[in-house]
Amino acid sequence: MKKNKIFVQIASYRDPQLVPTLDDLIGNADKPENLVICIAHQYDDITILDKYRKDDRFKILDIPYLDSKGACWARSEIQKNYDGEEYTLQLDSHHRFIKGWDTELVKMMKQLKKKGHKKPLLTGYISSFNPDNDPEERIDVPWKMNFDRFIPEGAVFFLPASIDDYKERTEPIPARFYSAHFCFTLGKFCEEVPHDPEYYFHGEEISIAVRAFTRGYDLFHPHKVVAWHEYTRRGRPKQWDDDKIWGDRNTKCHTKNRKLFGMDGEERATDFGIYGFGDERTLEDYEAYSGLCFKRRAVQRYTIDNNLAPNPKIEDPEEYEKSFLNIFKHCIDVGYDRVPEKDYDFWVVAFHDSDDSTMFRKDSEPWEIENYFKDPDKYCKVWREFQTDKKPTYWVVWPHSKTKGWCERIVGYL
């Protein structure tokens, strides 16, 4: 083991924030000499890293951006360069850091180890910052990750939320979920729970959370701010903007994720090797800990209410099964070009099953429609949530205009 060394993993895709992130990472470290920084540099301008190319702490993987196969592939390439460092820190390429971030994270790790956690893992959707107005727009309250929903493809989505009592907290809080943009743990994590290069984007975080848990890692959120993350990257290119076959990669990823968890009638696959679950805990152990049931796409009320893990034990098997709720939550995205009228008075919004029967309907009222057209992404984001034992097959949005009557009926398959 290379004691005290930190293997820093950064996957960067055509990101002008990469160099400012590196400057801040190094400049705010108490012991910058302990950093080993590996970057998957998916570039359109190879010169931006020239200032660091002669720095012995850096391992730069130069990848022409059109050769990229996605974020998980890039992270997998980085982890091949792990070389026995005691710790690892995985990031995106758009961050800022507190002074002494490295000391603080190592201190938390040692604190958790003293409490009996052999493999602590610090992770989270960390607090946000705005690079266009920094440091004024840094959020100085630490965040945790709450359950949001199972998406139609099967992956689990999360939402950031503040740790409101952080001033009274003296140690990290238990976590259910894993964030790929911020993870600090033992360096051997790179070998024990490596990124699956066949994953594309969504599904990555829930799969790693469970894989880590089943290999003996205990998940925690930092109880204080140690770094900031930019979430929007608005106006900057994403890998799927440039990859003509990203849809195929994405579909393959979701299929593999459903097989990993045995979802939607898929028999749970056991041939994933190092990219599968470990043998220190089971998937069922994780489900009891987190309050999720993957096979049923279900969640316990305790988790929905955003209480901290672990969930209370329910000894009776029948009561345990009854404790899970099948809640379908989905955002229908409708581009502004699909709804050009200015005088809509209501929209039909409905979900149907494979027999074309209506499973749920809740129409959009004028005030809701008005808010749709205030979205900075230029999409009408129609959120609906309802309880159901089976996944809908498709949704319908059918706008009605005061002057033109019924307009185009918009349909999307799930």
Q: Which tens digits make up the pLDDT trace of 37-60?
A: 999 999 999 999 999 999 999 999
- Sign, CA dihedral 213-218-223-224, equals negative
All structural domains of the chain, each given as residue ranges with its CATH number in brackets, are: 2-239 (3.90.550.10), 329-413 (2.60.40)
Q: What is the pLDDT of residue 400?
A: 97
| 3-state DSSP assignment of residue 235 | coil
Taking a C-beta distance cutoff of 8 angstroms, is the pair 121, 217 a contact? yes
Residue 299 sits at φ, ψ, to 5 deg, of -150, 145
Chain centroid, CA 25 distance in Å: 22
Percent of the chain exceeding pLDDT 70 equals 100
- Alpha helix segments (H runs only) across 262-357: 283-290, 301-304, 317-322
CA distance 372 to 369: 5
Q: Which tens digits make up the pLDDT trace of 338-372?
A: 999 999 999 999 999 999 999 999 999 999 999 99
Q: How far is CA 8 from CA 4, 147, 213, 278, in A?
A: 12, 27, 22, 24
Nearest 10 degrees: Cα torsion 80, 83, 85, 90? -20
CA distance 114 to 209: 23
CA distance 325 to 305: 12
The per-type count for the chain, helices as H runs and strands as E runs, is 11, 22
Taking a C-beta distance cutoff of 8 angstroms, is the pair 102, 5 a contact? no
Q: What is the pLDDT of residue 136?
A: 97
pLDDT band at 135, cuts 50/70/90?
very high
pLDDT band at 190, cuts 50/70/90?
very high
Taking a C-beta distance cutoff of 8 angstroms, is the pair 276, 270 a contact? yes
The two tokens of residue 233 are 């990257």
Eight-class DSSP state of 172: P
Percent of the chain exceeding pLDDT 90 equals 93
Q: Which residue has the tokens 């009926």?
A: 409
Total-model pTM: 0.90
**pLDDT of 385 over the 80 cut:** yes
